[in-house]
Structure 1
Amino acid sequence: MEYIDQPIAAQKRVALVAHDNRKASLIEWCQKHRAVLEQHQLLGTGTTGSKIEAATGLAVEKLFSGPMGGDQQLGAKICQGEVDILIFFWDPFEPMPHDPDVKALLRIAAVWNIPVACNGSSADMMIHSALMERSFSRLVPDYQGYLDSRKAETAV
């Protein structure tokens, strides 16, 4: 796979997700960083997004709940270039019935080179990065080049 540069704007599109046992921690983290987060576009899976919005007053675009397909919706938004950062407080101690969905979300975030924070410490490092306030470029798969090469292969 070839890669191309893709710019990320100064105003980030930040996805917020948390397992049930980690929702309170993510809400607390959002309250602590409200001043930074309100400068960006936020989206989240249904329950998490609703709880963050209610607790902080931050506007959050809400997708479906994770077990109802929200993780896949979020993955699709990553593929479409509509998410710049994923903050996902997952619970390493509780098995989740939708665990394959979670793994797929983390995989697609890696494929599309999305910065991912899975706990408060990594989220703190990410949100305090100088890159949070300015545009920068990241390498992503050259999907159009991939399609073009596939067409060329089938034409032969």
Structure 2
Amino acid sequence: MRLGLAANRLHHANEEAALFRLLRASGQGIRELGLELHAVGRTHDAIAAAGMLAGHPGLKRYPYGREGGLMKLVAEIVGMEGDARTLDGAIYLIDPVDPSSVFPEAIALKRQCVIHGKPFISTVASARDWIENERIHAGLAPDPGADRFHDFESQTLALIAHDAMKPQMLAFAAENYDVLSRFARRVATGTTGQRLNEMAWSRGWPQDTPWVHRFLSGPMGGDAQIADLVLERRCQRAVFFEDPHVARQHEADIQLLERAVTTVTDEAVCITSPAVAARWVAAVRMRQALRAA
């Protein structure tokens, strides 16, 4: 597999920065998977200078961002010249206050990942979780260091979907009701929450108890309410089915939630498309079976 890799300056500024925390925690998994990391110039140079992933043939250097490196990653998410220049997703560790995080190429990278059903990974927690899930899909034994990402019984899950994606969210939740019900708490914005509760009640969930706690609708501030939960470290995972084709009047609220996730980069996992969510749940089931064996 091939992933694009970029990190804002904050995330490789010193040896305790997010990029290096990720590589220390998941470097072995990267090697086990033979994962290719196509890293934008400054990110690549920081990894090399730190002596991390030494000798790993999958670490590839791209131009600096100012020389088009991030733009090249966007094109290769879409696909260029067949498989030789096609990426399977991207890790972009975002500093939410770095202006480059809202440059057109940064926004386009996420958008094209969502459109093509590929992982867009913007936090350390998301990257560690994704690498562990891919290890499980590859038939490797569970990494005890990733157990906390599967401790759903102590976690809160946010289920969020834009209007055009609500049917897909409802179908995802119904198909994976057993896994999602393991979470200590589920939250959602207005209409999505109501539909999810109706689905759960039809599956036998107690009629007098909501399956999800409903916040306000997105345009009325529900995204901001959930963002606050994330910032307080009271929401550890968000499944966010975004419609990349429609401009939304409350875009700022949506971005607020996304920025909250990147602010607590070691704590919050965000999944951004139905295809990626389905692969996550499949890994959860496989890992649970391995643990029970």
- TM-score, normalized by length of structure 2? 0.42
| Structure-2 residue corresponding to 1:101 | 253
Q: Map residues 1-156 of structure 1 onto 2, 5 A cutoff.
A: 9-11=151-153, 12-40=155-183, 41-57=185-201, 59-113=211-265, 114-130=268-284
Deviations for 1:83-139, whole angstroms, at most 9, x for unmatched residues?
010001111111110001111111111221211111111112333344986xxxxxx
Unaligned runs of 5+ in 2: 1-9, 11-15, 22-124, 126-147, 206-210, 289-293
The one-letter code sitting in structure 1 at the alignment partner of 2:198 is A
C-alpha distance in 2 between matches for 1:103 and 1:10: 26
By how many angstroms is 1:48 displaced?
Answer: 0.7
Overall identity of the aligned pairs, in %: 24
C-alpha distance in 2 between matches for 1:60 and 1:3: 35
**Which protein has the larger Cα radius of gyration, Structure 1 or Structure 2?**
2
C-alpha distance in 1 between matches for 2:284 and 2:221: 33
Aligned residue for 2:245, secondary structure, equals coil
Question: In structure 2, do the counterparts of structure 1 residues 65 and 3 end up closer, same or farther at CA, with 3 Å as the change threshold?
Answer: farther
The structure with the greater share of residues assigned to strand is 1
Question: In structure 2, do the counterparts of structure 1 residues 10 and 25 end up closer, same or farther at CA, with 3 Å as the change threshold?
Answer: closer
The one-letter code sitting in structure 2 at the alignment partner of 1:53 is N
Q: CA RMSD in A?
A: 2.5
| Structure-2 residue corresponding to 1:136 | none
- Bigger relative CO (Cα 8 Å, ≥ 6 apart): 1
Unaligned runs of 5+ in 1: 134-156
C-alpha distance in 1 between matches for 2:162 and 2:152: 28
C-alpha distance in 2 between matches for 1:14 and 1:93: 25
The one-letter code sitting in structure 1 at the alignment partner of 2:192 is T
